[in-house]
Amino acid sequence: MKTLIVGRPQAGEKNDITVLAEQLVAQSGMTVEHAFYEDVVCRIGAAETTSVLVRVADETVPLESYGLVILLQWTASRALGDIAHAVAMYAESKGIAVWNREATAARSTTKLSQLMRLALNGIAVPMSVFCLDGTLLLKHADDIGSWPLICKDVLASRGRNNFLVQDRAELQAVLAEVQSAPMILQQWVPNDKSDLRFFVVDSKVGLVIRRKGADASHLNNVSAGGSAEIIPIEEIPHSTIAEVEQVADLFGRELCGIDYIFDTDKQRYVFLEINGTPQIVNGVFVTEKINAIVTGINQVKERSV
């Protein structure tokens, strides 16, 4: 059985995974290879096309090449922890053993693991590619399938570090500009310059807010200059409401904001992201959000009687 060890290149001498892999091979004769988190490429789309690739000794191989994946040193940062979480979830879905299983059950902290979890559960998400290494990310840009692309920071919120890039040259310039940020590439979803924020309370959709982008921007965030309006829940298909509530349940989030966009080509709603700490006491429609929370709390009270 081939084993892969994933860790940090700067972990220090006592935690050097290169040395660890060499010693395991020397003492056991097992096939043990190593890679760094910068070598991991996550390609996320439909469940059947989602994959994880790893660059090992200048060759990129599928994670399925290994029977065991050992994830080390992933608690060093939020980004590394979420990469480990995404890799562990994918490995588990393919029957690959993972050490440590803690990474499989970790809390999602970036857009990367959000997309991975939902793709593996059959939820429609934009085709996405992630890698910490900008050169490797650029190499896999064509995996998205078409241009333009969205290039955005998996850690950012409110539209920060979010770019619409028209071609490879623009993408290369953006990656050079934001070298320290972990960026993900996504299919640009054709839309009517709006998206929906589902405000979920007590695991149910309590409020639906349509956000419309400013003319000069691809972003629909109010914080990026967009406008917002409340729309009746009844205007949203029952199947979409059910899916939004399924998403909240998959993350164990009774109170959250979940963003969807309507794909005007495929005529379907597509998941964008889930916010565990949505704006409540600031931003738009504060009174309506508070009322939705009050309703949810009263429902909890009724169930506990």
pLDDT tens, 203-251? Answer: 999 999 999 977 666 766 666 567 899 999 999 999 999 999 999 999 9
Closest CA to 143 of 206, 192, 185: 185
Give me the mean pLDDT over the 75-95 stretch. 96
Q: What global pTM score does this model have?
A: 0.94
| Final residue in a domain of this structure, among 152, 187, 222 | 187
Average pLDDT, the chain: 93
Do 131 and 39 reside in the same domain of the chain? Answer: yes
- Taking only the tens place, the pLDDT of each residue in 98-137 is 999 999 999 999 999 999 999 999 999 999 999 999 999 9
**Has residue 10 got a pLDDT over 90?**
no
Q: Which residue has the higher pLDDT, 29 or 35?
A: 35
Contact (CB, 8 A) for 95 and 89: no
User: Both 53 and 117 in a single domain?
Assistant: yes
**Do 166 and 285 reside in the same domain of the chain?**
no
272 vs 215 pLDDT, higher one: 272
- How many domains in the chain? 2
Average pLDDT over residues 140-148: 94
Expressed as residue numbers, the domain containing 206 is: 194-304
The answer to whether the beta carbons of residues 266 and 286 sit under 8 Å apart is no
State the burial class of residue 136 (Cβ atoms within 10 Å of its Cβ: 0-12, 13-18, 19+).
Answer: middle
pLDDT for the residue 19: 93
The token pair that represents 18 in the structure block: 């290169």
Residues 48 and 182 in one domain: yes
Q: Cα separation of 74 and 85, whole Å?
A: 9
CATH number of the domain that residue 91 is part of: 3.30.1490.20
Residues 216 and 179 in one domain: no
203 neighbors 258 (Cβ within 8 angstroms): no
**What was the pLDDT predicted at 13?**
74
Q: What is the pLDDT of residue 97?
A: 98
Q: Which of 139, 164, 187 is the last residue of a domain?
A: 187
Would you state the pLDDT for residue 157?
77
**One domain, residues 75 and 119:** yes
Pairing of strands 3-7, 68-71: parallel
- For the stretch 159-208, pLDDT in tens is 788 999 999 999 999 999 988 889 999 999 999 999 999 999 999 999 99
Tell me what pLDDT residue 268 has.
96
SS3 per residue for the chain: CCEEEEECCCCCHHHCHHHHHHHHHHHHCCCEEEEEHHHEEEEECCCCCCEEEEEECCEEEEHHHCCEEEECCHHHCHHHHHHHHHHHHHHHHCCCEEECHHHCCCCCCCHHHHHHHHHHCCCCCCCEEECCCHHHHHHCHHHHCCCCEEEEECCCCCCCCEEEECCHHHHHHHHHHCCCCCEEEEECCCCCCEEEEEEEECCEEEEEEEEECCCCCCCCCHHHCCEEEECCHHHCCHHHHHHHHHHHHHCCCCEEEEEEEEECCCCEEEEEEEECCCCCCCCCCHHHHHHHHHHHHHHHHHHHC
Q: Which of 187, 214, 240 is the last residue of a domain?
A: 187
- pLDDT of 216 reads 66
pLDDT at residue 301 greater than cutoff 60: yes
**Length of the chain in terms of residues written:** 305
CATH of the domain at 242: 3.30.470.20
**Residue 188 pLDDT:** 95
Residue type at position 192: D
Q: Looking up tokens 């890799």, which residue turns up?
A: 87
Q: Are residues 266 and 166 in the same domain?
A: no
